[in-house]
Amino acid sequence: MNVRVTGRAWKFGDNINTDLIIAGKYKLSITNIDDLSRHAMEALVPGFAEKVKRGDIIVAGKNFGCGSSREQAPLVLKHLGIGAVIAESFARIFYRNSMNIGLPALECKDVNRVSDGDILEIDLAEGCVKNLTKGEVYRVKPIPPALLEILVNGGLVNYVKKYGRLPW
Amino acid sequence: MGKTISEKIFSFASGRDAYAGDIIVANIDAAMVHDGTALLAIEAFREIGGKALWNPSKIALVIDHVAPSSNENFSRVHRIMREFAHKYGAILYDAGSGICHQLMVESGLIYPGSLIVGADSHTCTYGALGAFATGIGSTEMAAVLMSGKLWFKVPETIRIDVNGSLPPMVLPKDIILKIIGTIGADGATYKAVEYHGETISAMSIDGRLTLCNMAVEMGAKTGIIEPDEKTLKFLLSLGVKEHIALKSDEDAEYAEKISFNVSDLEPMIACPHSVDNVRSVKEVEGKEVDQVFLGSCTNGRIEDLRIAAEILKGRRVKEGVRMIVIAASRNIYLQALREGLIDVFMEAGCIICNPGCGPCAGAHQGILAPGEVCLSTSNRNFKGRMGSAEAEIYLASPATAAATALEGRITDPRTFLKR
């Protein structure tokens, strides 16, 4: 997979929960990922699914993805083309899910320096985020090697397909 | 160096000396998926070439979130789950059996010292029995179904001591809301929360399950309580003799230690739209409600139904208010029937639905319209959780729920103490 992601920042606050990412009323009635993705983040940004472009990046505060274990949360974001989620911190199940489906989840202390609409460039290998709009560079917390291995192979399913075994 | 109970469980499950921060691969003792997470897990299981389950007698598939199905898509999901369970010999709890977490507790699959994963964030509930239990996603669940193993980061632990005796009409739910309001929605992220103290020792298993259930609402990987005589007696009643007697060492290292005294605790309530937005019921008393929900994996157990019935007995739910009552399992429903509680609820004008998740996750059986207010005994009040994003959800105890249903507005249950 690409270790370089470039796109527009979509800025959100703290405690963005899984119901805000994809509400239970949709998750528990729609099983087709195209149809489900249309409702991603809709309570926060009406029409989010139509507005995002491939490579766009979600930037949020603390505890992103708190709440449910639903893997549909990172899945709808990835399906819409979101290239990465950067947050001050993540809820643990969302973090694991995101890596397991191949959507980079990066912890960064400088998220408050990013404004909505900034163009960001993420270099996973370098472990940094470049804010092309503001001309700044932010460090991200290194991803544990075992997880990075899953992520760079495009997630757990692709890892198993490639190596014919589980990573552990 | 001493170990916490969680470090001991991970040491046992990984076969190495494990401490907080270590990344280990551990053997899983039991696993659970439900209809909200099973489809992705089954698809991933097929994609990674799964041919057999690691141990079908330790794997439960539960149909509870949309049960019985309210839409054709989920009718299909349920059929796929039934076929999968049948094909591979896994345990199937079909629609009407109850909520996954209560069924797991009743199943006998969980014992002190065991390591349990579930594709649901409230899997942490089982820590009340001295197990280490945590929620995982569907794709990694597929790997567990196949291998019985998973990687973990051994968590640090926050020790919470709870002392004092609870005043009348103040319940375990009020304790956990108080704790979450203090620690915050992300205050325990990646950590285990260990509950200690005389209040916990005196508490029933039902109450302990409520406490551990909501650990994830402060971000915790699990809530856990050292097993005691009460735990073992409860497990024996289910025919479970297996247990590994574990306690945290005196010199175990904790990330943080917090104490609460609950002797003066008041009924508490989480206000919209986050679980850590906690106040005393007195502070928001009088707020009119449209719906009250008594049930869920947090508060759908027999003691919850009993306290609510005690308040509702011989009274009527306020006209214009819907009170929905859902037992967490078929066993609990039957027990409530035998005790005459179902009669009390029906005579009070409640709506009784089949055991399952009900409206908690927003699928059915009490979906909120824009502008509506619901007081619920469940565990999440996120915007849009139970229907419209323009609705408001308050979380409180079964006693507060019953008092509120009678008055049609948020009411301190102590109002009904001496009537």
Measured in angstroms, the CA of A76 and the nearest CA of chain B are apart by 13
**Using the beta-carbon criterion (under 8 Å), do A20 and B383 form an inter-chain contact?**
yes
**Residue of higher predicted confidence among B418 and B405:** B405
Question: pLDDT-based confidence at B241, cuts 50/70/90?
Answer: confident
Quick one: pLDDT at residue B295?
A: 98
Mutate to test the interface with B, among A45, A92, A94, A165 (most CBs of B within 10 A): A92
- For A15, the closest of B49, B135, B274 (CB atoms) is B274
* Domain chopping of chain A, boundaries: 4-163
Pick the CATH number of B5-260 from 3.30.930.10, 3.40.220.10, 3.30.499.10, 2.40.50.140: 3.30.499.10
- For A67, the closest of B47, B65, B121 (CB atoms) is B121
Find the mean pLDDT for residues B172-179: 98
The CATH architecture assigned to A4-163 reads: Alpha-Beta Barrel (3.20)
Could you give the dihedral angle defined by the CA atoms of residues A152, A156, A160 and A162, in that order, rounded to the nearest 10 degrees?
-20
Is 0.90 surpassed by the pTM of this model? yes
Measured in angstroms, the CA of B149 and the nearest CA of chain A are apart by 8
Q: Which CATH class is domain B270-416?
A: alpha beta
Please count the residue pairs, one from chain A and one from chain B, whose beta carbons lie less than 8 angstroms apart.
143
* Domain chopping of chain B, boundaries: 5-260, 270-416
The C-alpha atoms of residue B266 and residue B347 are separated, in whole angstroms, by 29
Question: Up-side HSE of residue A11: CA atoms within 13 Å toward CB?
Answer: 11
**Using the beta-carbon criterion (under 8 Å), do B219 and A30 form an inter-chain contact?**
no
Q: Tokens in use for A37?
A: 């993705």
Q: Looking at beta carbons, which residues of chain B come within 8 Å of A19?
A: 362, 380, 382-385
**Using the beta-carbon criterion (under 8 Å), do B384 and A20 form an inter-chain contact?**
yes
**Using the beta-carbon criterion (under 8 Å), do B121 and A144 form an inter-chain contact?**
no
Mutate to test the interface with B, among A22, A48, A71, A141 (most CBs of B within 10 A): A71
Going through B52-191 in order, the beta strands assigned E by DSSP cover 59-62, 91-93, 115-118, 132-135, 149-153, 157-163
pLDDT tens, per residue, chain A with 168 residues: 456 899 999 999 999 999 999 999 999 999 999 999 999 999 999 999 999 999 999 999 999 999 999 999 999 999 999 999 999 999 999 999 999 999 999 999 999 999 999 999 999 888 999 999 999 999 999 888 888 999 999 999 999 999 999 998
Quick one: pLDDT at residue A145?
A: 86
Q: What are the tens digits of pLDDT across the range B297-335?
A: 999 999 999 999 999 999 999 999 999 999 999 999 999
**Using the beta-carbon criterion (under 8 Å), do B137 and A71 form an inter-chain contact?**
yes
**Using the beta-carbon criterion (under 8 Å), do A69 and B151 form an inter-chain contact?**
no
**Residue of higher predicted confidence among A3 and B227:** B227
CB A114 within 8 A of CB A106: no
Q: Looking at beta carbons, which residues of chain B come within 8 Å of A92?
A: 189-190, 219, 221
Q: What are the tens digits of pLDDT across the range B329-360?
A: 999 999 999 999 999 999 999 999 999 999 99
**Using the beta-carbon criterion (under 8 Å), do B385 and A23 form an inter-chain contact?**
yes
The C-alpha atoms of residue B171 and residue B401 are separated, in whole angstroms, by 12
